[in-house]
Amino acid sequence: MTLQGLRDLRDQHTLEVRYGISRDAAKLIEWIGGLRDKDYLGKWTPTVEDELEKKIGIKCPWDSANL
């Protein structure tokens, strides 16, 4: 059962395909989904702008003043 579950997980479509979203949007969803309880700031996620390049892997095409 475990091996079949892993195969099913491996064979799933990417978030981009499943939800029709961009690669960056999928990275953001994966980051949020991977947060542990201790990573949250109360009920909020950490500040996204601080994590974009370091942990999420998104390079913004605009400067920080427009973020």
pLDDT at 67 over 60: no
pTM for this structure?
0.69
pLDDT at 20 over 90: yes
Supply the range of the domain harboring residue 40: 2-66
Number of domains in the chain: 1
| pLDDT, greater one: 38 or 66 | 38
d(CA 60, CA 19): 22
| pLDDT, greater one: 61 or 2 | 2
Section 6-34 average pLDDT: 92
